[in-house]
Amino acid sequence: MMDWLLFGIFIFLMLTGVPLAVAMGLAGVAVVAVADLGMMSLPTNVYTGIAKYSLMAIPVFVIAGLIFGKAGVAATIVRFASALVGQRRGSLAIVAILVAMILGGISGSGPADSAAVGAVMLPLMLKAGYPRSFTAGVIAAAGSTDILIPPSIAFVIYSLLVPQASVPALFAAGMIPGILSGLTLILVAWWLSVRNNFEAEPAAPRPSFWQSLKEAGWGLAAPVIILGGMRSGFFTPTEAAVVAVFYGLLVGMVIYRTLRWKDVYQVLIESAEISSVILTVVALASVFAWGSNTLGTFDHPAATLLGTGLSEIPMLLSIQLLLLIAGMFLDAISIYFIFLPLLIPIAMHFNWDLVWFGVIITMNMALGQFHPTLGVNLMVTCRMAGVSMESTVPWVLWMVAAMAGTMFLVTFVPELALWLPRHLGYL
């Protein structure tokens, strides 16, 4: 009875237009009150939901990403990527994806990466004759690799909910799938550009390789410092975020001299707004998760799914389909809180590696970031490009299909995710 009440209230509030996180929180509060689970426990659960050491990395990585954006690091990386790719059809689309993949090793946020890349690449691609809808789709898809290529805010949240999967192991596991996803997007973007005769003439001369490498060197070193420091044991993922912030300040204020104190102040304001939204979602979702776990809401559905007699492969494909559909309507954090209590018992029943399982789930979330109807990355880039989300569908669906193919490859070849963390000693 309480199970039906929990989801009934949640779905009703969603249908009436209540924000998803608020709907989850109110549904959890209502069930706690009706089931007499103890209203005084709610403040404690909200606090414990966000008072996690690992969550400290989220606002700090957000600050780091914004600092690198304000410092002009993206522009120097664009010139370097242009020097690498050269002048050919689709070169700017390829550059946009490469830059997003590199910046993914700094910010850990898909929307932030999409905004940073869009600010630099959008004018260049439009000048070269790319359609606005195609440009918005490519940049949004490229930004989705951010939650796979470490550091990843999504992996931090997953580790919080699934303690058996450590953050370093997840970071390492996401590296190869993230790179493969980016390479797949590059192939599709290049093919679409050639097919539609985009960028028939180069928009600008090819930059000097060595000069552009010299300019971009400090930005390119950031992911190496962050990931290398974690691998060597010099600092934890949370401490790595702090290192990234101070490194960004050094690059922006001392080396490039493009970052001023008023810019730092603006960065702190923007990061506070972004981080507060993320942590509010986590706090409200934790009430929903605590209520559902206390009531055993997901025990019966999990038992029912296992009782269907589906073998391992059909069960895995069913989960993939469920998450693909959910990713069209829900954000990544909400999906974790709603579905993980149901999915983790199933994963443990089949003895699936929870690090690999986390990568698979997160790849679904990456697809959701640039897939209509919700696609948060797509919302950002469409707003920047001045186009409707619907206009991007003919382009985006090709990229969704390509990345879905990569996801299924990682699904059936788990070593693509597990080899690196095992090699580094995290498993």
- pLDDT at residue 299 is higher than 80: no
Distance of CA 196 to CAs 170, 199, 382, Å? 38, 9, 21
Mean pLDDT to the nearest integer, 340-347: 84
- Do residues 180 and 406 lie in contact, with contact meaning Cβ atoms separated by under 8 Å? yes
Q: Cα–Cα distance between 403 and 179 in angstroms, integer?
A: 11
Band of pLDDT at residue 373, cut at 50, 70 and 90? low
- pLDDT at residue 341 is higher than 70: yes
Highest mean pLDDT among 24-33, 96-105, 177-186, 260-269: 177-186
Q: Cα–Cα distance between 48 and 28 in angstroms, integer?
A: 15
- pLDDT at residue 370 is higher than 80: yes
Q: Which pLDDT score, from 0 to 100, does residue 81 have?
A: 77
Mean pLDDT to the nearest integer, 387-407: 88
Query: In this predicted model, which residue has the larger pLDDT, 25 or 355?
Result: 355
For all residues of the chain together, what is the average pLDDT? 79
Q: Cα–Cα distance between 394 and 408 in angstroms, integer?
A: 22
Q: Which pLDDT score, from 0 to 100, does residue 234 have?
A: 75
Q: Which pLDDT score, from 0 to 100, does residue 52 have?
A: 66
Q: Cα–Cα distance between 395 and 283 in angstroms, integer?
A: 36
Residue type, 86: G
Instruction: Write out pLDDT tens, residues 120-179.
Output: 778 878 887 888 899 889 988 888 888 888 877 788 888 888 888 888 899 889 999 999
3-class secondary-structure state, position 361: helix
Q: Cα–Cα distance between 47 and 287 in angstroms, integer?
A: 10
Q: Residues with Cβ < 8 Å from 364, sequence gap 6 or more?
A: 320, 323, 324, 326, 327, 335, 407
Residues 92-119: b if buried by 16+ CB within 10 A, e if exposed? bbbbbbbbbbbbbbbbbbbbbbbbbbbe
Mean pLDDT to the nearest integer, 282-292: 73
210 CB neighbour count, 10 Å cutoff? 9
Q: What is the DSSP secondary-structure string of 76-118?
A: HHHHHHHHHH-SSTTHHHHHHHHHHHHHTTT---HHHHHHHHH
Q: Which pLDDT score, from 0 to 100, does residue 110 have?
A: 67
Q: Residues with Cβ < 8 Å from 49, sequence gap 6 or more?
A: 282, 283, 285, 286, 287, 289, 290
Region of 233 (left: φ > 0; alpha: ψ -120 to 50; beta: rest) is left
Mean pLDDT to the nearest integer, 274-301: 70
Q: Cα–Cα distance between 117 and 85 in angstroms, integer?
A: 17
Q: Cα–Cα distance between 158 and 167 in angstroms, integer?
A: 8
Instruction: Write out pLDDT tens, residues 30-70.
Output: 777 777 766 776 777 677 667 666 667 777 777 877 787 77
Q: Which pLDDT score, from 0 to 100, does residue 378 have?
A: 80
Band of pLDDT at residue 360, cut at 50, 70 and 90? very high
Band of pLDDT at residue 280, cut at 50, 70 and 90? confident
Q: Where are the alpha helices (DSSP H) in 296-353?
A: 299-307, 312-327, 332-349
Band of pLDDT at residue 418, cut at 50, 70 and 90? very high
Q: Which pLDDT score, from 0 to 100, does residue 305 have?
A: 67
Of the ranges 64-68, 218-222, 267-271, 303-307, which one carries the lowest mean pLDDT score?
Answer: 303-307
Q: Cα–Cα distance between 356 and 413 in angstroms, integer?
A: 10
Q: Which pLDDT score, from 0 to 100, does residue 316 have?
A: 86
Q: What are the backbone dihedrals phi and psi of residue 248, each rounded to the nearest 5 degrees, phi first?
A: -60, -40
Is pTM beyond 0.85? Reply is: no
Of the ranges 192-196, 323-327, 411-415, which one carries the lowest mean pLDDT score?
Answer: 323-327
Instruction: Write out pLDDT tens, residues 198-253.
Output: 765 555 666 777 777 777 777 778 777 777 777 676 777 777 778 888 888 888 88
Band of pLDDT at residue 76, cut at 50, 70 and 90? confident
Q: Which pLDDT score, from 0 to 100, does residue 184 have?
A: 94
